Amino acid sequence: MCSKHFDTLLIHAGRVKSGSNEPCVTPIYQTSSFLFDDSDHAARLFELTATGHIYTRLSNPTTDVLEQKIAALEGGTAAVAVSSGQASQFLAIQNIAECGDNIVSSSSLYGGSYNQFRNSFSKLGIEFRFAKKGDIQNFENLTDSRTRAIFIETIGNSDFFIPDFEKFGELSAKLGIPLIVDNTFGGAGFLFKPREWGANIITHAATKWIGGHGNSIGGVVVDCGNFNWDNGKFPGFTNPSESYHGLSFWNRFGAGSETGNVAFAAKARAEGLRDWGCSLSPFNAFLILQGSETLSLRMERILSNALHLSEWLEAHPKVESVNYPGLKSNPNHINGKRYLNGGFGGVFSFDLKGSREKASEFVNSLNLISHLVNVGDNKTLITHFASTTHAQLSALALKAAGIGENTLRISLGIEHIDDIKMDIEQAFGRAGL
């Protein structure tokens, strides 16, 4: 485990220092493939007995720096960068589950994740069973001998539910299955470190706070290096691999090996990236690296802005309600105080006192705040759920999801809070609220 502080790791983790006259910034290795020293070197790379790069679909020096950085920030042993947050979840799941297996997931999920889990994975024969959020007994009741993981989010998108992570860590350990935590809203460990509470695999949409500038799509899967893949439930790690002449990923990369326990990451890269091709481009890795260096500075302002604005809106006569864990009245406040570090997330929702039409007029009246479907940007962003991300849902389904016709989601940026409030106030007036 690295002893350096988070802020220092943001700048220095993963950096390659090769000698004199080296570049200060990690270069973009914009290449499809890499030269071998000789035939023996090539053979050893392909049989996974030597480290190095073969083809950018598998690994790349630019991407490697990003992977090392995120692994260090999260306290993991290794990481694999991929093309998007959705790809990080896909790679994590397919690495441990096969046709006939199941995953027990929280029902408190990003809508895109729910669709991926419920519909797309079912076509691969992998069943997702959705438990009542926070109901540990319900999670356990849904497991069986073919359950291969438990999946939860740090902060639910879009209900902002915060689980009791200690209980989930204990349950996964009891059942001998990994706990997967999507820590996108946790800011790569700034706000929350899942590994400290029993997580074994961490996924990220690096598109969001890690990159922070809305200029690139990317994801990262972190191997926490704390799971025993040799417990009889994961033969893909212990049985001889047909792809690598009988190599056992656990024997070669597991606990007690010279690499340390990086078996999950090694298998995800050697089989997952090779066969599925969901690789992060070197250029996007470069952009995300640049953004990541200011993550802690941005998060401090974002968290401050979110708390200030949520309190202001909660007291505003034109606002019906605010859903933010930072508010003492919020049901997620207690878990937020226990598990989160220095804040309660950079996103919340609020309901206007008015109709769906008035909510749309309000959004259209904003000048500073950007209307688009994203979170985790330097710019403050807003979305009207009912007409965008959840437009396909009926009024009944919207209610079940805790979303009203007048519900808006706001992702705070780093602008001055007074300017954000001023924009909202003028939009209230222009919309006739």
6-96+178-291 CATH = 3.40.640.10
pLDDT score, position 393: 64
Q: Read off the pLDDT of residues 169-179 as tens digits, 9 standing for 90 and up.
A: 999 999 999 99
- Rounded mean pLDDT, 229-237: 97
Mean of all residue pLDDT scores within the chain:
94
Q: What is the CATH number of domain 295-430?
A: 3.90.1150.10
Distance CA 83, CA 286 (A): 13
Judged against a pLDDT cut of 90, whether residue 20 lies above it is answered with: no
Given pLDDT bands bounded at 50, 70 and 90, which one contains residue 403?
A: confident
Provide the 3-class DSSP secondary structure of residue 80.
Answer: strand
pLDDT value at residue 180: 98
Which residues, at least 6 apart from 64, have a Cβ–Cβ distance to it below 8 Å? Answer: 14, 53
Task: Return d(Cα 417, Cα 426) in angstroms, integer.
Answer: 14
Taking the CB of residue 30, how many other CB atoms lie within 10 A of it? Answer: 12
Give residue 397's pLDDT band: very low, low, confident or very high (50, 70, 90). low
Reply yes or no on whether the pLDDT at 1 is more than 70.
no
Q: What global pTM score does this model have? A: 0.96
Nearest C-alpha neighbor of 188 from the set 165, 208, 166: 208
- Whether residue 327 is predicted with pLDDT greater than 90 in this model: the reply is yes
Question: Stretch 266-271: mean pLDDT, rounded?
Answer: 97
Q: Which of 145, 420, 143 minimizes the C-alpha distance to 305?
A: 420
Distances in Å between the Cα of 299 and the Cα atoms of 139, 252, 296, 343 are: 32, 39, 5, 9
Q: Is the pLDDT of residue 203 over 80?
A: yes
Give me the mean pLDDT over the 155-183 stretch.
Answer: 96
DSSP 293: T
Per-residue pLDDT for 111 more than 90? Answer: no
DSSP annotation of 303 reads: H
How much of the chain exceeds pLDDT 90, in percent?
87
Residues 85-96 pLDDT 10s: 999 999 999 999
**Do 295-430 and 6-96+178-291 have the same topology in CATH?**
no
- Name the DSSP letter for residue 124: G
Arithmetic mean of pLDDT, 327-336:
97
Cα(253)–Cα(238) distance, rounded to whole angstroms?
10
pLDDT tens for 347-360 read 999 999 988 899 99
Per-domain boundaries in the chain? 6-96+178-291, 295-430
- What would the two tokens of residue 291 be? 């953004």
State the Cα angle at 421 between 419 and 425, rounded to 5°: 115
CA 292 to chain centre: 14
Q: Indicate the pLDDT class of residue 413, thresholds 50, 70 and 90.
A: very high
Query: What dihedral do alpha carbons 423, 428, 432, 433 form, nearest 10°?
Result: 180
Does the pLDDT of residue 126 top 80, yes or no? yes
> How far apart (Å, rounded) are the C-alpha atoms in residues 406 and 395?
11
Q: Which pLDDT belongs to residue 21? A: 79
- Maximum separation of any 2 CA atoms in the chain, in Å: 74
Half-sphere exposure of 247 (CA within 13 A, CB side): 17
For the segment 323-334, the average pLDDT, to the nearest whole number, is: 97
Burial of 34 (0-12, 13-18, 19+ CB in 10 A): middle
Q: Is a pLDDT exceeding 80 seen at residue 46? A: yes
Neighbouring CB atoms inside 10 A of 57's CB total 16
Question: What is residue 61's predicted lDDT score, i.e. its pLDDT?
Answer: 96
Residue 226 clears pLDDT 80, i.e. is over it? yes
